[in-house]
Homo-oligomer: A and B are copies of this chain.
């Protein structure tokens, strides 16, 4: 793997080289092969063609259910879809340390069955609660006690944040950053990376995984200018107003009764071939551990696009966010990127109205594109599912009734709390911070 061609502080350049060599070595050492198989043949899972729910024989892990969504006034006012119901709250935890004034994070090179490549950079800990409380037995999760037994004052971030609201039903993960002092043993597959190096690696396609990106977004960044287009109270008031409308509602229903979806060729697919499919995967992991298992996965049709318009007001970076209602979000609406869609849908389905600002992003001048990397969605549930992450700088501070310019320092305030930014917005916030030295510092709030 070649180091990315990005502007990084000189001190980080060597680190980038070293990190790329480490990842090459890890790819040679560990390997996860995932083979797509018919849902009917998934060992251990109840998923006959007539199944109303796909679930594991043990009742563990997660279930795929059917959902009927009502969204009056929306372009598509009602639709059916499969959705993942995973009631367990996971911990996504990153250990941080300061070394000679530099912040370093302990990351793991981890393969996942859904990855389109080999290993990706993962948090120190990425575990579900039933996993780490070992109710089902199994080996202890490395480094977990640093998170579950963090001393007062050591916690830099600890917040429940939503996962994909279109594919998960009310799923939340606990995003944690804990500061450690003194020595921590570095286990095989783990490595301390300076935060500048991690920021540099974000510019490599499919390398820093989604869980790492969301934790990075929750890390407090340094204080920026106090200027903002809207006061934080006015941003919060906008969120409250939209949420109080309760415009989206949903109810579960059996998978085999979903309108517009069919079970064909061992998968569940939309009759138009659009959106996503539910597929079966047989996994064979080799390396330090050998394991085999089967599981259903979601596979998106087409690469997604998540994009931010970025502008500066009196030098303070602002991004344009929308409030997006997604059926799986418990609060009903969260702040989302300027653009969040699958662009191919608007070529294949011209009856759909193009989302606002999509063309501003797709037609942006190369000099205005500050970030453009395709990154993977969570490889434990999503198969070869990727989104192009784009940040476009503009001087056109356009206003739109359904969008607001939010200052970077306001994002920091919002990310201290649960449920304000959706996972796509958080992923882009991590990318944004990689661009903005002023936003990089790690400090207490």
Contact = CB atoms under 8 A, between A and B. Distances in A.
Contacts of A237: 150, 155, 158
A160 interface: yes
Nearest to A246: B89
Contacts of A159: 236, 240
A253 to B, nearest CB: 16
Interface string A209-238: 000000000000000000000111110110
A141 to B, nearest CB: 15
B240 A160 contact: yes
Interface of A: 87-89, 91, 129, 150, 152-153, 155-160, 172, 174, 230-234, 236-237, 240-241, 243-246, 249, 330-331, 416-418, 444-445
A31 to B, nearest CB: 32
Contacts of A87: 246, 249
9 smallest A-B Cβ distances: which pairs? Answer: A158-B237, A89-B244, A174-B244, A155-B237, A158-B240, A152-B234, A417-B417, A160-B240, A155-B233
B155 A444 contact: no
A418 B155 contact: no
A73 to B, nearest CB: 13
14 contacts: A89-B243, A91-B244, A129-B244, A152-B231, A152-B234, A155-B234, A157-B233, A158-B237, A158-B241, A160-B240, A160-B244, A232-B445, A330-B331, A417-B417
Contacts of A155: 233-234, 237
A4 to B, nearest CB: 33
Nearest to A414: B417
Chain A binding surface, main DSSP class: mixed
A89 B236 CA distance: 17
Nearest to A155: B237
A240 B152 contact: no
Nearest to A445: B233
Contact of A236 (B230, B246, B416): B416
Nearest to A133: B245
A236 B249 CA distance: 29
A417 B413 CA distance: 11
Contacts of A418: 240, 331
A444 B233 contact: yes
A240 B153 contact: no
A230 B151 CA distance: 12
A237 B155 CA distance: 8
B172 A244 contact: yes
Contacts of A249: 87
A245 B160 contact: no
A331 B87 CA distance: 13
A317 B352 CA distance: 57
Contacts of A232: 445
A153 B244 contact: no
Nearest to A148: B241
A174 B240 contact: yes
A249 B87 CA distance: 10
A169 to B, nearest CB: 13
A136 to B, nearest CB: 16
Contacts of A444: 233
A211 to B, nearest CB: 15
Contacts of A89: 243-246
Contact of A152 (B91, B157, B230): B230
Contacts of A174: 240-241, 244
Contacts of A246: 87-89, 129
A278 B71 CA distance: 33
A246 to B, nearest CB: 6
A372 to B, nearest CB: 34
A158 B416 contact: no
A330 B170 CA distance: 10
A156 B236 CA distance: 11
Contacts of A331: 330, 418
A87 B251 CA distance: 14
Contacts of A233: 155-158, 444-445
